[in-house]
Structure 1
Amino acid sequence: MSEGIVAYQALIRDNHRCMVTGRLDSDSFTTGLTTDNPGEVISVTNCCHIFPDSLGNIVADASGPTEHESATVRTILARFGYEDICEELGLASTNANLHRLENVMTLDIMLRNVFDRLNMWFEAIDGQENTYKVVLAGGAARLATKGVIPEQVTFTSHKAGLQLPSPKYLRVHAACCKIAHMSGAAEYLDMVYGEMEELKVLAHDGTSADVLCYAIHDRLAALT
C-alpha cells in the first residue's frame, strides 16, 4: 500500500483529526471532506509512522547505512521472537510494508515532530482497550502544563474495517523512548542487559520490550 493511500485511510479512520489533540485537519476542512464543530481548533496534521518508514528504503544488493540499520533491527526483532512484526512490516525483503494502518497515526504536525524525536509515547492502561497514558519527555513535557496534550487518550476507528495502531508496535516504541531518555540508569541497564543475555525469546505480547529495545539501541550504537 502506498503512503498516500494509507495516510488517507488513516484520516478517515481518525475522523480527520489528530488522534491525541483532536484538532481538525486543515486540508480535510478546506476541501470539504469534513465539517468543524463549534469552537474546534483547526491545524495541520501528518501521517506519522510508529516504525519509521526509513526502514523500508532498502535497495536490492546494497549495503549502505540504511540497509545495515534495517538488517540490524530485523535481526534483533527476529532473535527475540518478533518474527510476526518482521513479516507484517516486510522487513525481510526490499518489498517493505511499513505503510499499513497498524503502523500509522494521524498527528498534529507539532506532535508528529515530538513523537519522531522520541519525546512522546503511549503507555497502555490496564483493562481499557486502546486507551493509553500520554507520556511527554524533554522540553515537550512543558506542553502538558499548557493544556495542549490530554493525560490519556482512547483510540477509536471511525470506520469499520480500518485497523487502529498496533498496541504491540506502540509498546516497542514506548520502550525505545524510555531507553533514549534514561540518564544515570546504569543499574537498570545492567538488569536489562542481564535479562537480554538470559532470555531466549521475549514475551509475545511485548511486555519484555525494554529488553528488546536495549538490544536494538546497543547494537545500533556499535555500528555508528
Structure 2
Amino acid sequence: MPSEISDTLTNRAALAVRQHASKRDQDLLLAVLQCAPNEEGRVNVASKIIHCGDAYKEARRLDSCHFAQLADFFWRNIIVPVRVSGGRTPQPRSRMSHSGIASADASHSPGMEAVNALQGVIKATLERDRYRCVVTGKVDPETVANGPGSLTGTGYEVTRVAHIIPFSLRNSVDYSSDCDSASAAHIPSIWCALECFGGISLAKLMHNGINSLDNVITLSATLHRYFTELQVALEPVPDAANTYKVLTWGKVAPRLGLPKTVKLFTSTDAPLPNPMYLALHAAICRLVWASARAEELTDVLTDLEDITLLAEDGSSANLINIAIYRSLTVADA
C-alpha cells in the first residue's frame, strides 16, 4: 500500500480517536496506532479504528463504547498476556521423573514435547551467542568452569535464554500453518491482535515452532528480567543488518549502563534472532509506556506474584485469564 494512503488512514484514525474516545482510551489507541512496528501494522490498526468510528456515527450513540471495546481488545490481547507470560518458561527435563508426579503419557504430550525440546534449543542458542549476553557481552561463569575451551567477555553473569515471543503463548491456538490465509475467525484473539499490531504473520511460531532459534536470544539474568518485563528492548536499526538500538524504560533499566547499540553475531550455522520478532517486542514495550498504563499494568500484576498456575507444559492460560480479569477490576476502581 502506498505510503500516502497509509498516512491518510492513520490521520483519519487519529482524528476519530480524538473526537470520540474517552481520554483513557485515547492514550492507548493513539499509542497502538503510533507504536505499530511497520506500515502494515499501522494500516491494520487504523482500519480497525476507522471501522469503530463509522459504527459510532451509524449508531448515533452518545458514548464511546466502540472505542472502549477496541482499546480493551489490544489491552487484553497484547499488553497483559505478553507481560504476564513473558518470563514464564518452564525448565526442560532430561529424563522422566520417578516420583509419580509425572506420567509417561504426560511426557509424550505435545505440551511436554515442546518443554523437553527446550534443552536442545538452549544449547544451540548458547553456542550461537558464544555463551554470553548479546547486549552486555558478559559470559556465564558456569560455562567458563564447565564449558568448551576458554571464553572471554566483558565480565561474568549468569545467562538465560529468553523467548522473544513468549513460549507460553504457543498453545493459544489450533492453527494450521499449511493455510496461507486462515480466516481471522479461526485465530484466537491473542495471536490475532499480535499479528494485527505487528503487521506480520506469526503462524511459524505456533505450537513447537515457538522454539525456533530465531525466536530466542541469550541475555544476562538481569536483562532477561527487564526484557520480559517490557523495560528493555532491541529495536532494529534501518539499513544496518543485525544491528539494534538498545531501548530502556522505567526507573531501573535506564541506569544499567547498557550500550546504545549492539550488533548480533553467530558462531554457528544457527539463525540469528528474527528482526521482525524483536521489532514487535520493542513495539509492545513502546506501547506499554506510551499508553499511560504502565502503572496500571503493575497493579494488575501485583496480585499475581504469589500465584503459581504455570502448568508443567509451560501453559500459563489460567494466569493470563486471571490477569485479564484483574485488569477489569483495576480499570473500574
TM-score, length basis structure 1: 0.67
Cα gap change, 1:80 to 1:110, in 2 (>3 Å): closer
Can you list the C-alpha shifts for 1:49-100, whole angstroms capped at 9, x where unaligned? 111111025598xxxxxxxxx9222223455785631x2101xxxx342111
- Equivalent position of 1:9 in the other structure: 124
One-letter amino acid of the counterpart of residue 135, structure 1: L
The match for 1:127 is 239
Shift of the alpha carbon at 1:152? Answer: 0.5
**The one of 173, 180, 183 aligned to 2:288:** 180
Q: Residue 155 of structure 1 corresponds to which residue in structure 2?
A: 264
Which of 133, 139, 163 does residue 18 from structure 1 map onto?
133
Instruction: State the partner residue of 2:163.
Output: 49
Which aligned segments of 4 or more residues in structure 1 are displaced greater than 4 angstroms? Answer: 57-60, 77-83, 220-224
Q: How far apart are residue 106 of structure 1 and its match?
A: 0.4
Aligned-partner SS, 1:84: coil
Q: Structure 1: 5+ residue runs without aligned partners?
A: 61-69, 186-219
Structure 2 residue aligned with 1:73: 190
Percent identity between the two aligned chains? 32
SS of 2:214's equivalent in the other structure is: helix
| Aligned mates of 1:156, 1:130 — CA distance in 2 | 8
Q: Which has the larger radius of gyration?
A: 2
Per-residue deviation, 1:32: 2.8
Aligned residue runs from structure 1 range 20-169, under 5 A: 20-37=135-152, 40-57=154-171, 71-78=188-195, 84-85=201-202, 87-90=203-206, 95-139=207-251, 140-144=253-257, 149-160=258-269, 162-169=270-277
Which one-letter code corresponds to 2:190 in the other structure? V
Aligned-partner SS, 1:98: helix
Q: What amino acid is aligned across from residue 71 of structure 1 in structure 2?
A: P
Task: Note the residue ranges of structure 2 that are not aligned, 5 or more in a row.
Answer: 1-113, 175-186, 294-323, 329-333
Following TM superposition, by how much is the alpha carbon of 1:172 offset from its aligned partner in structure 2, in angstroms?
Answer: 0.7
Deviation at 1:126, TM superposition (A): 2.0
C-alpha distance in 1 between matches for 2:326 and 2:205: 24
Secondary structure, counterpart of 2:288 in structure 1: helix
Q: Is this contact kept in 2: 1:16–1:34, CA < 8 A?
A: no
TM-score (norm: length of structure 2): 0.46
Aligned pairs, number: 170
